[in-house]
Structures are given as structure tokens and as C-alpha cells.
Structure 1
């Protein structure tokens, strides 16, 4: 005997409660989406600050530099071997300041890169947990010391020590400023390099140990090549920090515009010249005052070249490993 289907519709109250629940969930989802969009907008604005600041700096440098190059030929700016913008017989050879900047940076990097890399290898591969957690914060304290203190340390302590070895060394010189600047850069190189080495997978180390490698061989021949993209980034940051340093060179290097790469002599750098002019009484809009913008633009282009080099190295070694 056929049985008729039994219809048992849900009560009206249950249906209404279900619809109310669905509406509540829809409102909650809409509110969550609004909050997420608001947070995204805030994060976007925060990220845009650095971009807008950079664009503003570039705009000011380019605008003032155009006015400068309207009076000074760019060929003379690049090829003249004298830098005397504040004299009656003015010369505007940026290579004079560039040579001081490069020589001081080279001395600093000769100190910071070897020592920073060795410290990073020790902290990453040889130091125990407690030792690493103690030494790394102490090392990073060096980056918190004001650079003016480093400058007077170079002038009053390092220079007299060097003069005992090199009696002909002048009181203001690139060598002592560069050595102290290298010590200041060590925390940047060591900390970032150590982080890159710690990010290398443990399986690579274990594979090297299984093949009979010692800890030193594993660190030098396995970990360092695998982490070289991050180590290269640390080197580029150190170079940028050295090129942009101001107070150490302003105090200890002498601010004498000499076209030389000899660190045993005094010299002026781009940053120290900017400090010298910014503290003077030159009228705004004069050629002498506008030289700081042309010099600043040259420094920014130099730093950009180093950053592009670092990007290329990171990309190359990431693909290789």
C-alpha cells in the first residue's frame, strides 16, 4: 500500500531565527571587510611615506641642481681637478670630493668587511647559544654610539697612535677616520651576515658533516656560499653607510679638498663639504650654496649604483644556490 509523503515544514519561528542569523553573519562579514580595507589603507599610507619622502628629496636635489648646472657646465663639474666653490676663482670639480669619499670608504670597508664576516661566522657556526645571545647585543651597541664621539675618538686617540707608527702622518687624515668608521660599520655587516647564515637550512650543514667536513670547512665552503645573497646585502649596506658618513670625516679628516686617494693625507668628502656649507653664511640661491645640492645628487647617484650592484649580486647568487 502506497504511503503518502509526509510534509513537515519548519516552524515559522525557526525560519525567522535562521534568516536573522544569516543577516547577522552578513553584517559581521561586511564589517570585517571594512576593517580590513581600513587597515590596508593605513598600511599603504605608511608604506607610501618612505616613497614620497624619497621622491621629495630627489625633486629638491634635481630642481636645485638644474639651477646650478645652468651656471656651471656639467663637463667642468665632472672633469675639473679643483674644488674651490667658495673662492673668488671658483672651481667645481666633484672628483675632488668623490676621491675623498671613495678613499675613506675603502679604508672603512677594509676593516668592516673582514672583521664583520669573521664575527658573523663565529656567532652563527661556533658560538654557543648563551655566548651568541650575549655578544650580539653588545656588538650592536656600537651602532648606537653617536658618530661625533667616533670622530673625536679618531682625532684624539687613533691619530696619535698612528703617528707613532707613521711620524709623517698629519693630524687630520683619511686613515684614522676610515679605521674608526670601519669599526662603526662592523655591527651592520656582522649582524645582517649572521642572520643570513642562520637562515641556511640545517640539512646543508648535516650533509657536509656526513661527507666528513669539519665545522670550519662547513662554515666556509657550504654556509657562506649558500648565504652569500644576504651577505652581499650586508656588504652593500656597509658601503652605503660608509659613503654617507658625515661627522667622523668632518672632525678627523680635515675637510681639505685634495684630489687624492692616499689615505695618509687629509681630504674632504661630499658629506663633510655639505656640513661645511650648511653651517656657513652663504645666501640661499647663490652658486656656492647650490653646490651642496649638486654634491648631494652625486652622492645619491653613487649610492644608487652600489644598491643596484647589491641587487644584482643577490639575484645572481639566489639563482646559483
Structure 2
């Protein structure tokens, strides 16, 4: 009789409370709907990434049917829009790496020191007030950074370096270092804060000072996260557009001298995108060849960061 009542009016849970079958059905439908929405959200990012890679590769293949990969990688001239066209990526690549390297020389040491201070030395109230101020730097439009580099940093540097060109790679590199500083500080500080306090207490028990604890315990323990911060900053610097387009110039120049002007890969993409090149022309396809090169560079950085995180995670 009891079994018949349960079958008619619903199931009983472990506490003997009768559950409405309609409620179970609605909960099951909601669960399936939530799973579908989450799967769809995850699939969107994968689909967009795959679409970007497909467009870059398909358009670049048409470019490399006309220009050999060897000439593309070894030629020291980049004049795709001239009558005597050359398609060597080295001038754009060297400028991109030099500007990004200067930015890292500013952001890595300054970001690491600030992260150590916020994590180990700063009082809680100061930390909670200083971090948002630093992160506000990441919200400033990059075009403002570009004009700041051109109209303020470059004239200031020219007072110490009279021969400095108006368009150069040094000023935008320094400004980009300040621009990516919030990324390095935020991610590094979060990684340091995640180090268990028991490690710090053990170091203090052994007689370590706060500085030695930060250098010998906290930084090695958070090295995987700190490495991720450096890789994120490098990827951000390599992909920056407006700062270098405004302050470094748009003339491809194969040089290792940061006091000279040069065009980076992103600056060239902006320059050509604003033109009236016909779709499908070799000049138009250079955009995708340069974009594919930039994509591969950032991919290599991310792979290197993933490998370093795994390596240091195994060591520490």
C-alpha cells in the first residue's frame, strides 16, 4: 500500500519527505539547460580562435604562393607597396622585439619590486588602496599613451640625448613598460599572496629576515605565477598598436638602434588597413602574413610560459 502511494504521489527522499515528480523534471531540465549554455559559452571562444587561425592561414597561403618563405624570413627590406617590392619581415620583427624588450626591461624589475612590496611589506589598507590605482593605468586608452610618448617622453629624452630622432623606439618602449606594469604587478602579487603562510612562518623560525623570506621563499614559491605575469606582459607589449604607431614611426627600418624610428608589425597592419588596397592584392595579403607571424610569436611566448610554469611547479 505504501509503495502504491509513493508511485502515485511522488518519490520519497532519504528523510521520508515526498518529492513532486514535476519538481524533479524541472530541476533536470534546468541542469541540462545550464550545461548547454556553459558548453556554448566555452565553444564560442574556441570557435572564434579557430576562425581567426583559419583566416590568417588561408590568406597567408595566397601570399606565400607569390613570395617564398625564405625571402619573407631573410630579406632585410620591407617595401611591399613600392614598385621594387621587397617582402622581408625582419625590419618589422626587429622593431617589434626591440620595443617589447625595452618595455620588459621597465616592467619586469619594477613590477616584481612593487609586487613584493604589496605582498610582504605594505599594510592591508595601503595595499587595498594602491592596487586599484595601479590597475587604473591599464584602463587609460593606448592612444593617450602614444601621444604621451611622442609629446612628453621624447622631448624629455632629447634633453639628455640631443641626437634622438623625433620618432624613435626608445620612448614608446619606456611608455609601454609603464602601460603593462599593472598586469605584471597584479598577477605577480596574487601569486605571491597565494604562497602559504606556513612557509613564511617556517622561514621566520629559521631566522630569516622579511627580505630574505621574500627573496628565498616567497618568490621561488610563486615563480610559476610570476612567470605567467611576465609572459602576459610580453604578449601585451608585442601586440600593442597605437603607442608604436604614433611614437615610433611607420617607416620600416631594419636597425637595432632604439634611438631610431621604425615600424612594428602592428603599426604596419594599421597603416595598410587605412589604405585603399584592393581585396586580394599582394599588398593586401601582406596584412595577413604579418598577422600570422605576430600570432606565432605570441603563441611561442605562451608555450614557453606554460613550459616554465610546469617546470618551476615541479621544482618548487
2:275 aligned residue = 280
Find the aligned partners of 1:48 and 1:201 in 2 and give their Cα distance: 35
Find the aligned partners of 2:3 and 2:39 in 1 and give their Cα distance: 43
* 69-78 vs 174-183, which moves further: 69-78
1:3 aligned residue = none
Q: 2:24 aligns with which of 29, 54, 66?
A: 29
CA positional deviation for 1:98: 0.3
CA positional deviation for 1:282: 1.0
CA deviation vs aligned residue, 1:28-72 (integer Å, no higher than 9, x gap): 333322211110110111111111111101110111001111111
CA deviation vs aligned residue, 1:54-93 (integer Å, no higher than 9, x gap): 1101110111001111111111111111000010000000
Is 2:141 the partner of 1:146? Answer: yes
Find the aligned partners of 2:54 and 2:182 in 1 and give their Cα distance: 33
- Superposition pairs of residues 1-321 of structure 1, within 5 angstroms: 17-19=5-7, 20-22=9-11, 24-321=19-316
Find the aligned partners of 1:41 and 1:92 in 2 and give their Cα distance: 47
Find the aligned partners of 1:36 and 1:101 in 2 and give their Cα distance: 48
Find the aligned partners of 1:234 and 1:48 in 2 and give their Cα distance: 26
* 72-81 vs 134-143, which moves further: 72-81
Please state whether the residue corresponding to 2:250 is helix, strand or coil. Answer: coil
Find the aligned partners of 1:241 and 1:18 in 2 and give their Cα distance: 62
CA positional deviation for 1:161: 0.5
Find the aligned partners of 1:168 and 1:311 in 2 and give their Cα distance: 42
Find the aligned partners of 2:90 and 2:24 in 1 and give their Cα distance: 62
Please state whether the residue corresponding to 2:34 is helix, strand or coil. Answer: helix
CA deviation vs aligned residue, 1:112-141 (integer Å, no higher than 9, x gap): 001111110000100011000000000000
* 38-47 vs 27-36, which moves further: 27-36
1:4 aligned residue = none
Find the aligned partners of 1:21 and 1:254 in 2 and give their Cα distance: 75
Find the aligned partners of 1:125 and 1:38 in 2 and give their Cα distance: 45
| C-alpha RMSD of the superposition | 1.2
Find the aligned partners of 1:128 and 1:175 in 2 and give their Cα distance: 36
Please state whether the residue corresponding to 1:71 is helix, strand or coil. Answer: coil
Find the aligned partners of 2:3 and 2:73 in 1 and give their Cα distance: 82
- Normalised by the length of structure 1, the TM-score is 0.94
The number of aligned residues is 309
Structure 2: stretches of 5+ with no match in the other structure: 13-18
Find the aligned partners of 1:45 and 1:21 in 2 and give their Cα distance: 34
CA deviation vs aligned residue, 1:256-315 (integer Å, no higher than 9, x gap): 211112111101100000000000111111101110000000000000000000000000
Structure 1: stretches of 5+ with no match in the other structure: 1-11
Find the aligned partners of 2:134 and 2:197 in 1 and give their Cα distance: 25
